[in-house]
Amino acid sequence: MDKLLIQGGIRLSGEIRIAGAKNSALPILAATLLTTDTVQVRNLPHLYDITTMLELLGCMGIEHVVDAKLNVDISSSSIKHCSAPYDLVKTMRASILVLGPLLAHFGKAEVALPGGCAIGSRPVNLHISALQKMGADIVVEDGYIKASVDGRLKGCHIFMDMCTVTGTENILMAATLAIGQTVIENAAREPEVVDLANCLIAMGADIKGAGTDTIVINGKDRLHGCSYAVMPDRIETGTYLIAAAATRGRIKCKDTRPDTLDAVLSKLQEAGADISVGEDWIELDMHGRRPKAVSVRTAPYPAFPTDMQAQFTALNAIATGTGSIIETVFENRFMHVQEMNRMGANMVVQGNTVIVTGVPVLKGAPVMATDLRASASLVIAGLVGDNETLIDRIYHIDRGYECIEEKMQSLGAIIRRIHS
């Protein structure tokens, strides 16, 4: 199992290019199921989850061709069956995104329940009840969601009990081929939802209101192919900005979207960072200063993103003062805290809040990654440690960060991958 070895104490400095957004790319790949024409997806990040989604499409008989520029051409005309097996779904929760498109286009779908969760704890049930409202027959048995529809799905009014990104995306895709109008209320407003909607519009869909809490979709008889570039990854951007801030360094992130990061940039300025932005770049400079502690509260977009919470916890670990981090989106998302405390951090968890009192320096130690964003925060902690940090289970990092060690090395970090 691969590990990352980091020698801390180096100020990051330099420029990096931001990859395409994983959380946009996955639903856009699922959306290729809505047409038998060829859809070209550009700016895909080179990540394990993307490979898994292409493998999932492949196991249904769908062929894809990668060109010299790493653009992927996909056509669902070669589909042999509409089943997403547990072996693939268990490694990636986003596999549930094929449910809506399969049902809307092919009239049937069989998708394994995502691994490691009871159906009520994350809103898979919301996907199911919304599709049932659109006329689908759905049973959950033997660990599979088995869905079919007689003819086509029918547009209707759907109120999401809980603001869910994948739920919004699944219903949005299904509604593009439904008969009549679908209105999704309490829809997720994330930029990745807007990106998916823009791709669907490029495929001929009629969608209004993406980016607001009410999305209106007028169903079409068919969608067509298109060529679409995935938006830049705002979470990757934020992670590198925080890494530079924590190490008192400077960075320029290119090929990114500053307009998707307002909440994160304002917190970095509060921490003492000097920030300037252009249309597709963000520059951060700490001028060698130690960051100031900030308090954040996670909430759905446009508020502070839960996927940046762990990274700010790492920043607060070595900041001046005390900051509180309140997590309102996911339970059990402080697993990185005990690992950082082993490195000398001063953090106390109280329910859904962690109180962080900054210390001048962390001590390198062997630590273990528990999830994708927690592992990114351990990399940041390792960069500000005063000796070596060894991070185990970094397959979590590879799910969401393209070439993290090469990008960190280009900024001056002493970091390398160890194959064990």
The Cα 271–Cα 154 span in angstroms is: 50
* Among 40, 15, 19, 18, residue whose Cα is nearest residue 29: 40
The Cα 224–Cα 201 span in angstroms is: 10
The Cα 191–Cα 176 span in angstroms is: 19
Find out whether 25 and 195 touch, Cβ atoms under 8 Å: no
For the chain, the distance separating the N- and C-terminal CA atoms, rounded to the nearest angstrom, is: 5
DSSP class of residue 292 equals B
The dihedral over CA atoms of 28, 29, 33, 36, expressed in degrees to the nearest 10, equals: 100
Please spell the DSSP secondary structure of 95-118, one letter per residue.
GGGGHHHHHHHHSEEEEEPPTTS-
Please spell the DSSP secondary structure of 300-336, one letter per residue.
STTSB-GGGHHHHHHHHHTSBSEEEEE--S-SS--HH
Examine the residue annotation and report whether 199 is marked as an active-site residue of this protein. Answer: no
In this structure, are strands 366-368 and 388-392 parallel, antiparallel, or unpaired?
parallel
Preceding amide of 360 cis, omega within 30:
no
The Cα 5–Cα 341 span in angstroms is: 18
Name the catalytic one among 82, 117, 199, 403. 117
Helix H or strand E segment including 270: helix 262-270
CA–CA distance from 253 to each of 94, 128, 257, 278 (Å)? 27, 39, 10, 10
Amino acid (1-letter code) at residue 125: N
The Cα 54–Cα 62 span in angstroms is: 9
Residues marked as catalytic: 117
